[in-house]
Amino acid sequence: MATTFEVWVPLAREQVQVEVDGSTVPMTRSGDGWWRARVDQATHGTPYSFRLDGGEPRADPRSRWQPDGVPGPSAVYDHDLFAWTDQGWRGTPLSGAVIYELHVGTFTPQGTLQSAVDRLDHLAALGVTLVELLPLAAFPGHHGWGYDGVGLYAVHQAYGGPDGLKTFVDACHARGIGVCLDVVYNHLGPAHNYLSEFGPYFTDKYATPWGQAVNLDDVGSDQVRRFVVGNALGWFRDFHVDALRLDAVHALHDERAVPILEELSHEVDSAAATLGRPLWLIAESDRNDPRTVTPRESGGLGVHAQWDDDVHHALHALLTGERDGYYGDFGSLPCLAKTMTRAFFHDGTWSSFRGRVHGRPVDVERTGGWRFVAALQNHDQIGNRAAGDRLSATLSDDQLAVAAGLLLTSPYTPMLFMGEEWGARTPWQYFTDFADPDLAEAVRNGRRNEFADHGWDPDDVPDPQDEGTFRASRLDWNEPEKESGARLLDWYTTLIRLRRELPGLADPRLYRVEVTYDEDARWVMIRRGDLGVVANLAGAQATVPLGAVVDETVGRDGVVLAWHPDDTHTTPGTTTHGTPTSADKDDVTQIQLPGHSLAIVGLRP
């Protein structure tokens, strides 16, 4: 069997050779900078690498398989050899989705895609419809977050390589769960990154906080864009994934008339038509610009959804009381009310963290809430804290339940971070595994210095290079079996089920969401159609006026669900002037909630 090897090396001065299983074969150059060679007896698993002008052997920039990790040679990979069983899979909708973000290396003790398959029944029972995997692109070392990948086309071998990802996706589809893959196109990792030897993959026109900016609009960028688009399409086509989460798109510096996000959107929509199933792009962006998720036909970039950090900040600051850094503008009930109805808090308003006006308003009449992915916790908001502490380290179970209720009854697409559903007590810290001692020390000192500037004792900041930091971040699967974990897990599961079953909670129309609150008494009610989501954020009992008549045909006293059901009651209310109403059941207009509690109440039209 013969294999054609090809590689884009416009920077080669004289020759490019491919080393195949110990033999060196010269490659032929074409006018567009591509080099090609056809080699007999190169089959699945055959190792190969490229030599540029007689230099050191380098892995293929488009390698599908790195059996010995990123420092080693690439290996021929035949996609047709995998026996898929998901022929009946027709994709999953994003509207109505529940996303679950997980890091393969810490999701299970084994830290592999195969061991993650063994936990998929847990996710199916929870009600998850889309699993988001943190980056799998091959990166140096055994463990890490994955955002320093250098082999963007290959699956990290320690996780199970390309066959491991296919096995995972196939198993997800068998359970009715889609798969979203986190991809990083704004930079590459610092170790074993040799792309600049091949071609103008990077540019000095821009800078990113994490390394050289990818060349999307400078000289030679046509082929770099093909590299990016081809990578995205390959995950959909060859690995059957259903969505891509695009990391930090605000760092995709691109001044072209057709920016890379719009080009990606067009190509992915075309691929969806070819493959016969919906394919989704979800952007991480801090621009607060709704044009990111506005369809191309309406003048937007055509990305299907984006992360909404403002919702996270509003909930986190409100529940924890933190006001440092970007939490400074958040934490009030008026702030929560705005984010629950307008998607962005900063939509052309002053941002004290940035020292300038930030954002653009969302047209809530035309833009559905499902286009905004909201979370209480995610890898950034936990792992980028000095100690990697989750909300469970700060909040009580009662407060965690209230937080979950607000998120899972919101008009947005909710995303959970692994273990959140049972209030996991394990931290999720920043960990790396760089072999280069200078790079390892730079990462270690950079982390300590960053948090020392915020008042932390450097000795209290976990060492990213210490394997113990990685081990401490693994989930403890005994926790959901304990009473506290089991109760929270049941709460999450019930909320997700109700989100699917009750039209009021499933409705993504932002303009139909109504919020009332009392800042002093610390309660809020969010009306979702014929339902009222009532949260008491104070430590003492609260009586909350519902502003509508309770539908007593739904649950006991009209209460559909309550975190403390025995202590939650609807009673005759008062008018706005304080005059008691009739005790007739038709006049029930208020609800009594214990401290740190939430209830869903049926309301008459």
- For the chain, give every domain's residue range: 3-58, 99-499, 509-602
Average pLDDT value for the chain: 95
pLDDT at res. 31: 85
- In whole angstroms, give the CA distance from residue 525 to residue 488: 22
The response to whether 381 counts as a known ligand-binding position is yes
pLDDT at res. 471: 97
Residue 562 has, within 13 A of its CA and on its CB side, a CA count of 23
The response to whether 309 counts as a known ligand-binding position is yes
Q: Which residues contact 434 (CB under 8 A, 6 or more apart)?
A: 140, 141, 191, 440, 443, 465
The response to whether 250 counts as a known ligand-binding position is yes
Question: Matching CATH topology for 3-58 and 509-602?
Answer: yes
CB 423 within 8 A of CB 403: no
CA angle 433, 438, 441 (to 5 degrees): 65
Furthest-apart CA pair in the chain: how many Å?
Answer: 93
CB 232 within 8 A of CB 271: no
* Selection from 468, 472, 463 nearest residue 444 by Cα: 463
Q: What does the chain come to in residues?
A: 605
Per annotation, catalytic residue among 247, 289, 420, 433: 247
Which residues on neighbouring strands pair with residue 561, listed in sequence order?
A: 600
pLDDT at res. 583: 40
Residue 284 falls in the annotated catalytic set: yes
Per annotation, catalytic residue among 284, 286, 289, 308: 284
End-to-end CA distance of the chain: 70
pLDDT at res. 586: 52
The response to whether 245 counts as a known ligand-binding position is yes
DSSP-assigned letter for residue 404: H
Q: What is the assigned CATH class of domain 3-58?
A: mainly beta
pLDDT at res. 556: 84
CATH architecture of structural domain 509-602: Sandwich (2.60)
- In whole angstroms, give the CA distance from residue 247 to residue 136: 13
Q: Say which amino acid occupies 476.
A: D
pLDDT at res. 577: 38
Backbone angles phi, psi at 285, to 5 degrees: -145, 140
Mean pLDDT per block of 10 residues along the chain (605 residues) reads 93 96 94 94 95 97 97 97 97 98 98 98 98 98 97 98 98 98 96 96 93 95 98 98 97 97 98 98 98 97 98 98 95 98 98 97 98 98 95 98 98 98 98 94 89 79 95 98 97 98 97 97 97 97 92 88 96 54 56 97 90
Q: In three state form, how does the secondary structure of 455-483 look?
A: CCCHHHCCCCCCHHHHHHCCCCCCHHHCH
The response to whether 382 counts as a known ligand-binding position is yes
Could you give the 3-state DSSP secondary structure of residue 605?
Answer: coil
Backbone angles phi, psi at 228, to 5 degrees: -70, -50
CATH number of 99-499: 3.20.20.80
